[in-house]
Amino acid sequence: MAASSRHRPVSLTALSLIAFLVVMALWLLLSYGVGVSHVFLPPPHTVVMALVGMFNDGTLVGYTALSTWRVLVGWGLSVIVALPLGMLIATSPVARALVQPLTEFARYLPVVALVPLTLLYCGIGEEQKYAIIFLGTFFQLLLMVADSVGSVDRTLLNSAATLGAGRRQRYLRVLLPAALPSLLDDLRITVGWAWTYLVVAEMVAANAGLGYLVLKSQRFLATDAIFAGLIVIGLVGLVTDRLFQLITRLAVPWHEKLGDARG
């Protein structure tokens, strides 16, 4: 058993590498072997050249930093509001009756359809980009937080109350730690959505950013630059996801997902 557990990470890493190599092989086959037009599928070397060119002229670093900042601000604002409000919805029937129906209605509104309103209310500055990312993540995160907190065993809260813990102590020392593993998963999922809505925000009334880069490249049929921008967005998102997984392991080392436990 110990030997199989020791070799399992190597096997999983090999499978991940194989999957990557298969995708690369298909890309090489379609772009070089089959002869698909480079307008539709640029060869890997042209995408690498586009990345190198954007790095050399400062576009890649500048646009990536700006887009990352927009994601952090818009998503961070949604976290600041959704966490306490979601906990309140999960623990208060009155708050649930007041907020949850409106939230369930709002989360089905397509954010793209709200772009004209954000332009009207916020103008074309940075606030409009933050608003799009906020609207795209807030309502979903709010319900996810409420569900995660509501799933905590009520026995824990009742036991804390029996021992004399006040409402604030039950929130901070019982409810929040018990729900923390699920809450971290909620944050990890919604920050991925934030990157999706970033592209929507930067495709309208923007003159910089990775989403703007993709849209500008589309106008000139620069498919290699489009692929380059998408790859950068994917890589930054992947790094963010791995950071959240690391934070989860450090913050809640006792928590194991079902897939990890089964191995």
**CATH for 149:** 1.10.3720.10
Structural domain range at position 207: 42-258
Three-class secondary structure of residue 97 per DSSP:
helix
Confidence bin at 2 (pLDDT 50/70/90): very low
Q: What percent of the chain has pLDDT over 70?
A: 89
3-class SS string, 33-50 = HCCCCCCCCCCHHHHHHH
Rounded to whole angstroms, how far apart are CA atoms 110 and 88?
A: 26
Rounded to whole angstroms, how far apart are CA atoms 214 and 225?
A: 7
Q: Please report, for residues 113, 136, 161, 218, 245, the alpha-carbon distance to residue 213 in angstroms, rounded to integers and kept in the order given.
A: 22, 21, 55, 9, 29
- Indicate if 110 and 195 belong to the same structural domain: yes
- Indicate if 170 and 220 belong to the same structural domain: yes
Q: What percent of the chain has pLDDT over 90?
A: 15
Termini Cα distance of the chain: 11
- Indicate if 139 and 230 belong to the same structural domain: yes
- Indicate if 15 and 50 belong to the same structural domain: no
> Is 140 a domain residue?
yes
Q: What one-character DSSP code corresponds to residue 257?
A: -
Give the pLDDT confidence of 114-156 residue by residue, as tens digits: 888 888 888 888 888 999 999 989 999 999 998 888 887 777 7
- Indicate if 249 and 177 belong to the same structural domain: yes
Q: Does residue 149 contact residue 157 with C-beta atoms inside 8 Å?
A: no
Rounded to whole angstroms, how far apart are CA atoms 52 and 46?
A: 10
Vertex 40: Cα angle to 203 and 202 (nearest 5): 10
> Is 112 a domain residue?
yes
Q: Which helix (H) or strand (E) holds 146?
A: helix 126-150
Give the pLDDT confidence of 60-95 residue by residue, as tens digits: 899 999 999 999 999 999 999 999 898 888 888 888
Domains held by the chain: number: 2
């309103």: which residue's tokens?
Answer: 117
> Is 263 a domain residue?
no
> What six digits make up the tokens of 38?
């480079």
pTM of this prediction exceeds 0.85: no
How high does pLDDT run on average in the chain?
82
Predicted local distance difference test score (pLDDT) of residue 251? 80
DSSP class per residue in 104-123: HHHTTS-HHHHHHHHHHHHT
Give the pLDDT confidence of 21-59 residue by residue, as tens digits: 888 888 888 878 776 777 788 888 888 998 998 899 888
- Indicate if 30 and 141 belong to the same structural domain: no
